[in-house]
Structure 1
Amino acid sequence: MAFWKAPLLKSLAQWGLFAAVGLTAFGYIASGLGKPQRAEARVAAIPASQSQSIQATVDDLNAEFQRHWHNRDVQPAPTADWQTICRRMSLSLVGSGLSVEEMRYLQSLPEQQRTQQCLDRLLADERFEDYWSERLTRSFVGAEEGPFIVFRRRRFVTWIRDQLHNNRPYDQMIREMITARGLWNDQPQVNFLTVTLDSGEEEGQVDVTRLASRTSRAFLGMRIDCLQCHDDFLGNVSLGTASESREGTQQDFHQLAAFFAVARFNGLQGIADQDHTYEYQYLDADEAVAVPPKVPFQEDLVDENLPVRQQLAHWMTHPENRQSARAAVNRVWALLLGKAMTDPVDDIPLHGPLPPGMDRLADDFVAHGWNLRRLIRVIVSSDVYQRDSRAPFEVTERHEQAWALFPVTRLRPEQVAGSVIQASRVKTLDSEGSFLMQLQKLTESNDFVKRYGDSGEDEFDLDAVTITQRLLMLNGNLVSEHTKQNPVLNACTHIAMFATNDEQAVETAYLAVLNRSPSERERETFVARLADGNRRQAIEDMYWVLLNSSELGWNH
């Protein structure tokens, strides 16, 4: 008797375990198609006073743009619907569209609360810190891996992420990067300096000219590096004061570079400050001369009692040096809207004319402790951000230049990948998901970006999509793997299994992929297709069509 009982009991136990896992999985999957669960429990409470405290700034910003539109005689586009605004927030803050789970939760709220709740959730999400740490890293140290051993890009990204997680004031981040010392592994901010170790004229030491270039572009929003080889003869770099403006000179750039000459590298200590004089041979000069450190404008803000690099850091983040705050505002604006206030993002004229709203945002940014999350809230709450990209009138270049409608821009490669992967899951792919899910997302996203083409430091490049990129979407593994029948992972299969009728199937597919409800015509077209033939295959085909639509690849 025992001979056959043992295998039987073992078999029953295995099938029982399989059934339990299966029921749990199906319950997890089906929950995303039904009524919204208590997903809001994951989100840290946001005090109502925080939203109210930005209203005066938002009102000032809106009034400034209203005057701008009136003076230019352009009519602004109407306000976008909540689904459009929430999708653009998700794309810019976490790098992907919203999940069905998130859309269902937002639908359960009163309509007037949806965009605010969506913003609160996204800013409290760890995906925001992950995504923005990478985007900011590109502006600080570039997109390349840099010199082997002495540069650890991942450590630097993690450091930026930690600063965002702790809501560290942006000016403190700047000061730590400029004055960093120690080993690149122990003090990750040191990587801001060591990334240049393989490009300087002095072997084994930081490249002071490259650091000056990066500093001026990333932290001042100015292309002072255009002065590296010769004086400004075209009026592209204006320095001095507003009342006594002057053209930039070679000395301006190399005197800025001289602040980094004291940052010396050795393999045991990493970066440490040592007395060292920077020398350079200027154009048409007979020999190299010692170059003293000197800032290119507002010299009165320099505290000469501080060590050399601290002088630069203190000057750069001084409340009266508005250029640093303007640069931060311009970059955050560009990250949120896909287009900077100035083109390019790192070419803000010191003495103007400045875009509308820039100084109001910069003043508020400094007055409230260089708080990045507050700056994001102000911009997202503004009329400009919440405008539609379409209008019931002819849209001209004048409307686009005046910010009278939300700019339509292509998604970045990682946003395309993130949107496709998230659209194929009913639940939100966040830090609460399984490790295997997160690993799969990272692997698939990296592989897609490698094949699609990474724009590198050209963060806001508006080049058109290439034939190769379109073919990758049409025929590549990412879309095909996420639209084929898979009852465990793929949302299109879940929809076919759990949607109670064809109308719900079409509605859910649109919410998952495009984060909006289908139009009446779209609904009728796909419902008819689902009713005519193989329903499961028709849903997979619908998913494939939506993932390859132009709408998915753009921010509107």
Structure 2
Amino acid sequence: MFFLRAMPSALLAATAVQAAPQLVSFQHEVLPVLTRQGCNAGTCHGSPSGKGGFALSLFAFDAVADHASLTRDLLGRRVDIFNPELSLILRKPSTELAHRGGVKLPKGSPEYGILRDWIEQGAGKDPAGTPRCEGIEVTPSTAVTLRWPRHVQQLRVTARFGDGSRRNITHLSQFTSSDEAILEVDRVGKVTGRRHGQAAVMVRYLEHVAALPFTFVKPVPGFRWTNPPVANYIDTLVHAKLRELEFKPSGLCADSEFLRRVYLDLTGMLPDAAEAAAFLANENPGKRARLIDKLLASPEHAVFWAQHWGDLLRVSPTKLRSMGVEVMNRWLVNAMAENMPHDQFARALITASGDTFVNAPANYFRSASSRDDALETTTQLFLGTRLACAKCHNHPYDRWTQDHYYGMGAFFHRVKRIEVDNKKGGKGEVLVGTAIEGEVTHPRTGHKIAPWLPGRGEVTVPKGTDRRKIFADWLTHRDNPWFGRTAVNRIWAHLMGRGIVQPVDDFRDSNPPVNGPLLDALTRDFAAHGFDRSHLIRVILNSRTYQASSRTQRSNVGDLILFSHFQPRLLTAEQLLDAVCRVTGLPEKFDGLPAGTRATALPSPQMNHAFLRAFGQPARATACTCERSTEPQLSQALEFLRGGLVHGKLESSDNRFRKALDAGSSDQGIVTELYWMAYSRPPSQEELTVAIQHIAQAVDRSTALADVCWAIFNTNEFMFQN
């Protein structure tokens, strides 16, 4: 039996009562100390190749290898059981000898004492039968809200062991802040707020990870909540969080802003001038809700949202061949048009078999071309989890272990892919199926790994059953806490510009939602309506939260994540290209596609298209939304300054304003139409006056109108969704 010590041996020696020395646990004291001090971090000796010839497993996930590295490697010089103070494991991190990592283990520190005592006791492994830690608990156990000046909280960490015992391990735990600008946490678990906002503290002890969300409120002088109107439960829950943090929501956006916003979100397109004028003239209070219904039922909506899923599913000729792209895109468009429930959508992909040129969902396993790829893609898309880190070691920031990785990988291990090329009488299709046997071997232990599911543990699959169906049953069950939340968060992010959890595919305890009750309510609604995508979109779009103005107020200018106002965002590459084409009246031509094909309807990336590439069109090489660049770049400015596409459309004799000139339209009429097409609104009197004066002073009207159109293109109102 061993006891975790709260004091170093130097302090114990000073006590009046002499007691038998406590046995230092290698597993439960030494390894946590190495983690706490950063010795086995990825930037230090926990990197794959170690540092300075000394390698440890990342965050102590392999205790056997770590013990061997400490006690046997380097001819045993790292520990000196006869004279512990001469051990390299003490002398280097205390900088008694040169150490590139600096001081990691100050002499006289409690951590130094633990390592020294362990060496003095023979640097052994723990005795057989030593109970293992089964989990940790952090106190306080629920989300904490602190208000200035009481913005400090002490944490306590307790370990639960297999023999039923519980021990305080605060002094052996590692504490990390998710946002040091908002909160700092010291080595003993004291949390101090630094500014207004939300952040989490991650606590690590061995492979166990826990996180505790914090909200810090600095009272705003004179703040008074005025009970703004709500349209549905979304507004109620958003307002509750805003009130807690003393922000106020912005008012509703103008009709022109809503019209442009919802068209872009649902169809990827701008409305034409006539549609915009009619909408603004309509005084019916229910016109916004009716427009939402109309756009959700439009074919353009299905095509545009199919493109969004095409990005995530890596639909490209490089992965699927041209024929595979064609059948997969058609299937995605049909799935969106028919509003296929999300659970059926996921199941169709995950359990697909057959010819990839015939059964479109089978292309899922052509893009995900290996067991590990299929596992990582599935968990990222449908569980919101980046599991790849657990392939080689336990996940450094989440609960997933290497055992979990290979246990879930067992569900995809038997998937087989056979390419039928020309020599075999095929056209490059892949036949997807499953083998009747085959088990995963753990790369570290060499043991066979049984299928494993979160919340269920090891799963027995009847012989002859496709393991993927068992996985799909678990995945799409309404009680699965990850499936619905991940789908809801993706849809919310597509419409609101950022997820309730951000990044959208990085759900973990140390990355909590900015509004947990909102995410939970949306998830319940989604599941209760049979994972109906259109229903959820309709609820979000009808909320005042979605329809909020992008203009900030003094009372919410500091909020970037709580949805107090709409966050402007750059149009996607395809949206922006279509917008340029829409305003100029000149469709773009794409290789191998029919004339008139919109960029937002492209079935796969056009990698030779300079404009699309500059504005972040993804190559669809990964299943991560991060592949699509959304940040402004210098190359984008150059496309509008001297890029061939924009200037070619402005100079074309067939563009909208040159045709209007030829038809005898007035300058005012042409400028007004350009504004309606670009902004879904007429020009203000000042905008119209400036444009007309510029045209009147020009030698050539058509050149002057090209200037006006170019100036429109270069405004934030055009390039951003507001």
Query: What's the TM-score, normalizing by structure 2?
Result: 0.60
* 1:547 maps onto 2:720 in alignment: no
* 1:167 maps onto 2:301 in alignment: no
Inter-CA distance 150–517: structure 2 relative to 1 (3 Å threshold): closer
Inter-CA distance 66–437: structure 2 relative to 1 (3 Å threshold): same
Deviations 1:247-297 (A, max 9, x none): 3211111111110112223346812222232323334x3xx3222111123
Greater C-alpha radius of gyration: 2
Inter-CA distance 151–177: structure 2 relative to 1 (3 Å threshold): farther
Q: What is the letter of the counterpart of residue 228 of structure 1?
A: K
Give the C-alpha shift of residue 84 in structure 1: 0.8
Alignment of 1:37-76 (within 5 A): 59-76=232-249
Per the alignment, in what secondary structure is the counterpart of residue 98 of structure 1? coil
Give the C-alpha shift of residue 133 in structure 1: 0.7
Q: What is the letter of the counterpart of residue 379 of structure 1?
A: I
Q: Which residue of 1 is the match for residue 382 of structure 2?
A: 219
Give the C-alpha shift of residue 150 in structure 1: 10
Q: Which residue of 2 is the match for residue 249 of structure 1?
A: 401
CA distance in 2, matches of 1:300, 1:320: 18
Give the C-alpha shift of residue 495 in structure 1: 4.0
Q: How many residues align?
A: 467
CA contact (8 A) 1:303 1:314 kept: no
* 1:177 maps onto 2:349 in alignment: yes
Inter-CA distance 380–442: structure 2 relative to 1 (3 Å threshold): closer
Q: Which residue of 2 is the match for residue 408 of structure 1?
A: 568
Q: Which residue of 2 is the match for residue 101 of structure 1?
A: 274
* 1:196 maps onto 2:368 in alignment: yes
Q: Which residue of 2 is the match for residue 471 of structure 1?
A: 638
CA contact (8 A) 1:250 1:282 kept: no
CA distance in 2, matches of 1:304, 1:330: 34
CA contact (8 A) 1:150 1:184 kept: no
Deviations 1:462-499 (A, max 9, x none): 6532222211122223222322353xx42222443568
Alignment of 1:421-440 (within 5 A): 421-425=581-585, 436-438=595-597
CA contact (8 A) 1:298 1:321 kept: no
Q: Which has the higher contact order (CA 8 A, sep 6+)?
A: 1
Give the C-alpha shift of residue 217 in structure 1: 0.8
CA contact (8 A) 1:75 1:404 kept: yes
Give the C-alpha shift of residue 441 in structure 1: 9.2
Give the C-alpha shift of residue 543 in structure 1: 0.8
Inter-CA distance 459–423: structure 2 relative to 1 (3 Å threshold): farther
Q: What is the letter of the counterpart of residue 182 of structure 1?
A: G
Aligned mate of 1:157, from 329, 352, 361: 329
Alignment of 1:396-545 (within 5 A): 396-397=557-558, 399-425=559-585, 436-438=595-597, 446=606, 447=609, 448-450=611-613, 452-456=615-619, 459=625, 464-486=631-653, 489-497=654-662, 501-533=666-698, 534-545=700-711
Q: Which residue of 2 is the match for residue 341 of structure 1?
A: 500
Instruction: Choose between structure 1 and 2: higher strand proportion.
Output: 2
Deviations 1:355-378 (A, max 9, x none): 431111111111112111111111
CA distance in 2, matches of 1:114, 1:282: 60
Instruction: Choose between structure 1 and 2: higher helix proportion.
Output: 1
Identity across the alignment (%): 22
Q: Which residue of 1 is the match for residue 450 of structure 2?
A: 292
Q: What is the letter of the counterpart of residue 582 of structure 2?
A: Q
CA contact (8 A) 1:259 1:309 kept: yes
CA contact (8 A) 2:578 2:599 kept: no
CA distance in 2, matches of 1:409, 1:453: 13
Aligned mate of 2:257, from 84, 105, 117: 84
CA distance in 2, matches of 1:134, 1:358: 25
Give the C-alpha shift of residue 523 in structure 1: 2.1
Inter-CA distance 388–531: structure 2 relative to 1 (3 Å threshold): same
Per the alignment, in what secondary structure is the counterpart of residue 266 of structure 1? strand
Inter-CA distance 267–508: structure 2 relative to 1 (3 Å threshold): closer
Per the alignment, in what secondary structure is the counterpart of residue 272 of structure 1? strand
CA contact (8 A) 2:277 2:680 kept: no
Give the C-alpha shift of residue 91 in structure 1: 1.7
Q: Which residue of 2 is the match for residue 361 of structure 1?
A: 522
Inter-CA distance 181–544: structure 2 relative to 1 (3 Å threshold): same
Give the C-alpha shift of residue 145 in structure 1: 3.8
Query: What's the TM-score, normalizing by structure 1?
Result: 0.76
CA distance in 1, matches of 2:538, 2:662: 40
CA distance in 2, matches of 1:462, 1:271: 32
CA contact (8 A) 2:419 2:431 kept: yes
Inter-CA distance 146–538: structure 2 relative to 1 (3 Å threshold): closer
Deviations 1:210-261 (A, max 9, x none): 11111111001122332111113x4x22xxxxxxxxx321111111111011
Per the alignment, in what secondary structure is the counterpart of residue 650 of structure 2? coil
* 1:374 maps onto 2:532 in alignment: no
CA distance in 2, matches of 1:292, 1:303: 9
CA contact (8 A) 1:410 1:462 kept: no
Per the alignment, in what secondary structure is the counterpart of residue 387 of structure 1? coil
CA contact (8 A) 2:570 2:720 kept: yes
CA contact (8 A) 1:146 1:195 kept: no
Q: Which residue of 2 is the match for residue 135 of structure 1?
A: 308
CA distance in 1, matches of 2:274, 2:625: 30
Inter-CA distance 537–513: structure 2 relative to 1 (3 Å threshold): same
Root-mean-square deviation (CA, aligned residues, Å) is 3.1
Give the C-alpha shift of residue 180 in structure 1: 0.4
Inter-CA distance 376–148: structure 2 relative to 1 (3 Å threshold): closer
Inter-CA distance 471–61: structure 2 relative to 1 (3 Å threshold): same
Deviations 1:52-93 (A, max 9, x none): xxxxx9621111111111001011122111111121212222
Inter-CA distance 102–192: structure 2 relative to 1 (3 Å threshold): same
Inter-CA distance 60–166: structure 2 relative to 1 (3 Å threshold): same
CA distance in 2, matches of 1:469, 1:353: 34
CA distance in 1, matches of 2:613, 2:415: 35
Q: Which residue of 1 is the match for residue 29 of structure 2?
A: none
Give the C-alpha shift of residue 330 in structure 1: 0.9
Structure 1: runs of 5+ lacking an equivalent: 1-56, 198-206, 238-246
CA contact (8 A) 1:78 1:391 kept: no
Q: What is the letter of the counterpart of residue 270 of structure 1?
A: L
Q: Which residue of 2 is the match for residue 53 of structure 1?
A: none
Per the alignment, in what secondary structure is the counterpart of residue 401 of structure 1? coil
CA contact (8 A) 2:617 2:629 kept: no
Q: Which residue of 2 is the match for residue 120 of structure 1?
A: 293
CA contact (8 A) 1:496 1:539 kept: no
Structure 2: runs of 5+ lacking an equivalent: 1-229, 421-429
* 1:208 maps onto 2:371 in alignment: yes
Q: What is the letter of the counterpart of residue 442 of structure 2?
A: Q
Q: Which residue of 2 is the match for residue 274 of structure 1?
A: 435
Inter-CA distance 367–441: structure 2 relative to 1 (3 Å threshold): closer
Q: Which residue of 2 is the match for residue 329 of structure 1?
A: 488
CA distance in 1, matches of 2:720, 2:663: 30
Per the alignment, in what secondary structure is the counterpart of residue 410 of structure 2? helix
Q: What is the letter of the counterpart of residue 105 of structure 1?
A: A
